[in-house]
Structure 1
């Protein structure tokens, strides 16, 4: 496989047309067709399926597409590393962010990056932690800020922030009638409104529950935290979330908050990289920038939410303690 073949294939798939790809690559359609055909012959696979409006990747093409992007990215990193011998930090940095981190940090990350590395470019992808891990392994992104679920082969993670998870309910619900703390094994009594299985939060809660021999009672599966809180308020069930979630509710609705003990549940934000792909000098510097200049913004936001909720938690636990 040659890089020009992979480049032609990736552009044709992403643009859905040989004509549009030829325009972007400043070449002609016959040249692109020849390059893609050479790749198909070498791989002994049909990579494209033609239809009335252009082309799409075949099943085999979808598999090759991810690998092709990774190889092109690695080649670009090598070129940039050689240019750095001249003393200029340049190139392209691709970062994946978990949605909760992206919401707070994306704008500041881009601002800080452009100030620090004016000769470099950056792209930011947002996705669930499971998807970010896959993109890292495929080489589509240089690094990711994601929530840790379990050990993943070929991925190196370093925890940078930790949040306790609580049982969140509506005031006056079953959780509000319980002791101020509950054991994890008792959580099975509460119907949960919880994200789907691809979500890191769901994987954390289920993994710890399984270790305790607890089978969760799933009432609804919803990925968006805002929607989860809406459903909790309407009495559909209970949520397991960081205290920052109800504390920063834009509608300022009251929630009951119950601590989960034996064991305590935590979500851990990590910076992750692939052990199979060498980081460029730019990527290493950019990751350092995230830790020193961007992460504090996120942790301050989360800690502010915790402080805002402290009074509500204390009132809830004091009230509950008085009932015992």
Structure 2
């Protein structure tokens, strides 16, 4: 195969964004370019490689077998480039090392503070940059090298391509309300449609689990459903209303302990799922990252009374 050497970063960036979203329109919007422009960029890349990477159709785009292979190596290439840029930036700052860690809000409010405290107590010198956001977005950032690791829920198979996952503990969702809420005296999921319900948005990692819970309990339409991933909004709204907030236990663990929120005593075991560490599959990780992972594991072990911990952790 004769490959044109004129492949540029913009080609890889466009291709990876299209591959992630499987939509030229959505990828163009994410990169702030027009759809014709991103289509031309993809066509240029295919011409330089001499293969078809994607099949276009009315339903969007789909990766070809060659496209799947190229996505793997394109992701590694972009990640390596980002690491090189980070290395130059750190050298310009006098050698200061920066570790960028992605964390779902549930772990950012529970396990991560303990891990960071342990890491700093041990006197490690790297600066930590803790980034929160939706699980899919964080995993995309990990794949392209913007993050070194992500602590959160196990992503779906498509989101985990090129990544490895090690389970640390298990977590389920909670239904939380203000203290004194009427449902606390008579907890019944069948009455959920009578209240405003704060519901995880489509991008949230727990959304499929919550939908499973709703279906399993025979709950139909929620007429006053508000979809949100904002924990600040959730806390403020639930404390000042009779709304019910469906959220990961880790997000509200401190609120429940302090008594500012109350958990409905209903069975949500069907939402139990693994929480763990995601990293790029073919990288061992820097020494500083491995030291942070050690602190993270110690933090999980110290929280055994509060978490459903994997015995192998």
TM bin, normalised by shorter chain, reads: 0.5 to 0.7
Residue 149 of structure 1 and its aligned partner are, at CA, apart by 5.2
Higher percent of residues as helix: 1
Aligned residues: 237
Contact 2:104 2:152 in 1 (8 A): yes
Q: Deviation digits for residues 85-133 of structure 1, max 9, x if unmatched?
A: xxxxx99855322234345448548747982xx6x88765432212112
Structure 2: gaps of 5 or more residues: 14-40, 48-72, 85-95, 309-313
- For 1:279, which of 277, 283, 287 is the aligned residue? 283
User: How do 1:172-321 and structure 2 match up within 5 A?
Assistant: 172-179=180-187, 187=192, 190-210=195-215, 214-215=219-220, 217=222, 218-243=224-249, 245-246=251-252, 248-249=254-255, 252=258, 254-261=260-267, 263-266=269-272, 268-275=274-281, 278-282=282-286, 285-286=287-288, 288-297=290-299, 300=302
* Closer, same or farther: CA 273–249 of 1 in aligned 2, 3 Å: same
Unmatched segments (≥5 aa) in structure 1: 11-38, 46-66, 79-89, 307-324
Alignment match of 2:152 (pick from 135, 146, 160): 146
Equivalent positions of 1:64-75 (< 5 A) are 71-74=77-80
Contact 1:157 1:272 in 2 (8 A): yes
Partners of 1:287 and 1:207 in 2: CA distance: 36
- In the alignment, the residues of structure 1 paired with residue 82 and residue 105 of structure 2 have an alpha-carbon distance, to the nearest angstrom, of 27
Q: CA deviation at 1:257?
A: 2.1
Between 232-241 and 186-195, the greater mean CA deviation after superposition:
186-195
The structure with the largest alpha-carbon Rg is 1
- Judge conservation of contact 2:177–2:242 (CA < 8 Å) in 1: no
- RMSD in angstroms over aligned alpha carbons? 4.9
Distance 2:238 2:300 in 1: 26
State how 1:8-27 maps to structure 2 within 5 Å.
none
Distance in 2 between residues matched to 1:171 and 1:107, nearest whole Å:
31
Partners of 2:195 and 2:139 lie apart in 1 by 31
Offset of 1:150 from its aligned partner?
Answer: 3.8
Deviation at 1:146, TM superposition (A): 1.6
Alpha-carbon distance, 1:166 to partner:
2.5
